[in-house]
Structure 1
Amino acid sequence: MKKIMIIGSGGAGKSTFSQRLGEVLQLPVYHLDALYWKKDWVLTSHEEQIQVQRELVTQDSWIIDGNYGFTMDIRLEAADTIIFIDLPRIQCLYRVIKRRVQYHNKTRPDMGEGCNEQLDFEFLKWVWTYPKVKRPVILGKLQAISAEKNIVIFKTSAELEEFLQKL
């Protein structure tokens, strides 16, 4: 496990888990949200994101957390380990709302500078529809590469914790 990709719904705990995993394994951690959003919620172009991720994956070791479907194949191809945090929808929604309250008028550590926590209908809808819309696509991609990659799917927070404790 030297090149680890972490994916999952908003509120699944990707950034928290990747940070803890990075500390345990002594690997650099990259949060796609922090790379995608520039100061004050200015979007990075798709072309720039593709270039940034192509450069990142050439490093000897890394943990990259985040979804961003338009660049997912770059990471899938380069990763030796893919971790899919597949927690229940209601748990993800609860965490998203809790995070909004916790970081009110603040920027999360895994976000770009000046990107104070927000919560809008579109994001809530994305989290709500993730199990039905995004999850099947991701599972299909993982199935297609399962013979050549180490794929780990976590269904509960307890499984995440147990995994970290065993390292």
Structure 2
Amino acid sequence: MWTTPYRRSHRHIRKDAMRRISVVGCPGAGKTAFARQLADRLDVPRLELDSIFHLANWTELPGDEFERRTADVAKSDGWVIDGNYSRVRDQVVWPTADTVVWLDLPRRVVMTQLLRRTLRRVLTREELWNGNRERVPNLMSWDPHRSILRWGWTRYTPYRERYAAAMNDPAWDHLRFVRLRTVREAARFLDATASTDDQASTAPPSRIARPGAGRSAS
């Protein structure tokens, strides 16, 4: 297992070093924006787990079908999959991944991003997946299963403990773990990742969207 905090000395990371990447982190960390840019740079498909798990009217995709649809992507030779769902992460995604990028931002940053994102979605009635939208009553709910804000707050520590433990778990010895602790580190990592022609990217410096995107379950 490689546990790789980002270092400025990394010039770039070639496509052949990372081909199947799992992007994880707390809600509001910016997983989807990060995964989108990473997949573009590596020229591989991207799957946002939220987009297939949440059916219309917030109905949840049955577990077996969730695994099957995730496996359809994971069996290819290159992809970026973002999300924390333990069922598909442990059974489908991580067994076939070569790299896990963990966006481990401070709680204050995550919650600020999450609040801004949620307010924007509520005010603009932004469509998320399959016609779903954030519901105004949920914004004030104290139930973490209804409120993404409450979910993000209560799941912050469990997610950090889970991924810190996974970095030292022999079951995942085949994985390279990259732990990014700030928005700046995440942007620099993207800028250090080789573009589709296997050269260091000459694109303008990356900007990780504030706030992050995606509602993820455990």
- In structure 1, which of residues 28, 51, 66 is the aligned counterpart of residue 68 of structure 2? 51
Which residue number corresponds to residue 117 of structure 2? 99
Letter in 1 for 2:103: I
Query: Map of 1:1-167 to 2, 5 A cutoff?
Result: 1-73=18-90, 74-104=92-122, 105-108=125-128, 112-118=129-135, 119=139, 120-121=141-142, 122=144, 123-145=148-170, 147-167=173-193
Shift of 1:142: 2.5
Q: 1:102 to 1:124 in 2, by over 3 A?
A: closer
Stretch moving more, 43-52 or 76-85:
43-52
The alignment of Structure 1 onto Structure 2 pairs a total of residues equal to 164
Larger gyration radius, structure 1 or structure 2:
2
Letter in 1 for 2:180: F
Identity fraction in percent: 27
Contact 1:100 1:117 in 2 (8 A): yes
Stretch moving more, 145-154 or 7-16:
145-154
Q: Which runs of 4+ in 1 moved over 6 A?
A: none
Shift of 1:25: 1.2
Shift of 1:54: 2.2
Q: Comparing both chains, which one has the higher relative contact order based on Cα–Cα distances under 8 Å and sequence gaps of 6 or more?
A: 2
Ranges in structure 1 where 5+ consecutive residues have no aligned partner = none
For normalisation by structure 2, the TM-score amounts to 0.70
Give RMSD over aligned pairs: 1.6
Letter in 2 for 1:101: L
